[in-house]
Amino acid sequence: MKSKRREFFLLFIWIFSLFILSQMVSAEETPADRVAQFLKHRGIPKELAVLAISTLPIFELRGGIPVAIHLFRMEWWSGFFFSYLGNLLPVFPLLLFLGTLKKGLSRVPLFKNFFNWLFERTKRRGRIVERYKSLGLMVFVAIPLPITGAWTGAVAATLFGLKRLHAFIAIAVGVFIAGGIVTGLSLMGIWGGVIAGAILLGLALAGMMRFFLQKPESSC
């Protein structure tokens, strides 16, 4: 009974999250649009502008894809590609160096307080990662909201000691699913996002569950 209630609650949160995201995507002007306009006026090619926006933790591809499709009028597949690439660029460096960076900078009280806040915040929101490891990380990243995403996923992977290669694969697949959801929302509204998310998440779970559950999840 508890399991069914938990699944229903997660489904409700997922649908509600898509509704909130659809409102963000359909807004007349977003902060990502303003950054894109700034880069455009500086002569930055639209592909690089989309890539740069998607690299930033405050936007990621949930900001890059709508900018590419609605503002720059790029083909959806092109906007998806540059947003996906930009969102993944910081992931491996974060997985490699975040733990060492935290250890070194924590000697300074200001940075120590920041990292304590960051890891505590991530721990509260990353219960699914703590319980299901890489598989949970993939699902966590696949929800394209500010509280999730590749940056938060990399922090969660470091916090819970996931194996770096497994974490990178999980984040890459999760970002791909998030990209499909945002693309669906940008092209067809909330039902486009629901359909894209359901199909991609189902395929990812079916194809990767065995890999993640059979491999040890110790860090490397």
pLDDT tens for each residue of the chain, 220 residues long: 445 555 555 555 555 555 555 555 555 577 888 899 999 899 999 999 999 999 999 899 989 999 999 999 999 999 999 999 999 999 999 999 999 988 888 888 888 888 888 888 888 878 888 888 888 899 899 887 777 889 999 999 999 999 999 999 999 999 999 999 899 888 877 666 666 666 777 766 666 666 655 555 555 5
SS3 label, residue 215? coil
Q: Which two tokens stand for residue 43?
A: 């002569």
Which amino acid is present at 115? Answer: F
pLDDT for position 119: 87
pLDDT single digits (tens) 114-151: 888 888 888 887 888 888 888 889 989 988 777 788 99
Distance CA 169, CA 80 (A): 18
Q: Which two tokens stand for residue 109?
A: 């009280």
In the DSSP assignment, the letter for residue 218 is: -
pLDDT single digits (tens) 66-85: 999 999 999 999 999 999 99
Dihedral (Cα; 136, 168, 101, 31), 10-degree rounding = -80
- Rounded to two decimals, the pTM is 0.82
Give the distance, in angstroms, between the CA of residue 31 and the centroid of all CA atoms in the same chain. Answer: 18
Distance CA 139, CA 177 (A): 9
pLDDT for position 5: 58
